[in-house]
C-alpha cells in the first residue's frame, strides 16, 4: 500500500490571534452592519450596476433590497461576534462567507463586462479576507 504524507495544518489558539487581525475583522463587520442598515432605508443600492428596466420603487425591488440588506447585516453581526470572541474557527467561517460574497460580486461584474471600482473593491476585500483566514492557521 502506497501511503502519501499529508501535512495537517492546525488552527491557532484563541490567545495567539494577533490583535490587528481581530481589529480588521471587526472593521469589516461594522462595514457590513452599516451597509446592511443602509439597505433597509435605500434598497435600490443593490442595483449598482444598472437600474435600466427596474422599477426601484416597486415592491419586488424593495423586497430584493431587504433580502440583500439582511444578508449583509447578518454577516456583519456574525463577524463582529466572532471577532469579539476571538474564535479562530468562527472567524474563518464567517470570513469565508464574506469572501464568497466578494467572489460573487467580481463574477457579476465580469459577466457584465464592467471591470470598475466595484470589481476592484471586491478584489481588495477578498485579498484582506484571505489574509485574515490564513492568519488563523499555524
Task: Read off the pLDDT of residues 5-20 as tens digits, 9 standing for 90 and up.
Answer: 666 677 888 888 889 9
What secondary structure does DSSP assign to 71-137, as a single string? HHHHHHHHHHHHHHHT-HHHHHHHHHHHHHHHHHHHHHHHHTT--SHHHHHHHHHHHHHHHHHHTTB
Domains of the chain, by residue range, sit at 18-44+55-134
pLDDT of 15: 83
Task: Read off the pLDDT of residues 81-134 as tens digits, 9 standing for 90 and up.
Answer: 999 998 899 999 999 999 999 999 899 889 988 888 889 989 999 999 999 999
Task: Read off the pLDDT of residues 46-91 as tens digits, 9 standing for 90 and up.
Answer: 666 555 666 667 787 778 778 888 999 999 999 999 999 988 999 9
Amino acid at each position: 500500500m502506497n501511503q502519501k504524507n499529508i501535512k495537517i495544518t492546525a488552527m491557532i489558539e484563541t490567545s495567539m490571534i494577533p490583535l490587528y487581525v481581530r481589529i480588521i475583522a471587526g472593521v469589516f463587520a461594522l462595514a457590513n452592519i452599516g451597509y446592511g442598515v443602509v439597505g433597509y432605508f435605500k434598497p435600490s443600492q443593490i442595483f449598482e450596476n444598472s437600474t435600466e428596466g427596474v422599477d426601484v420603487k416597486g415592491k419586488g425591488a424593495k423586497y430584493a433590497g431587504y433580502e440583500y440588506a439582511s444578508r449583509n447585516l447578518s454577516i456583519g453581526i456574525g463577524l463582529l461576534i466572532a471577532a469579539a470572541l476571538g474564535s479562530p474557527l468562527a472567524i474563518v467561517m464567517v470570513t469565508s462567507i464574506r469572501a464568497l460574497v466578494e467572489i460573487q460580486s467580481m463574477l457579476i461584474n465580469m459577466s457584465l463586462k464592467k471591470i470598475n471600482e466595484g470589481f476592484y473593491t471586491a478584489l481588495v476585500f477578498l485579498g484582506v479576507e484571505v489574509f485574515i483566514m490564513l492568519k488563523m492557521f499555524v
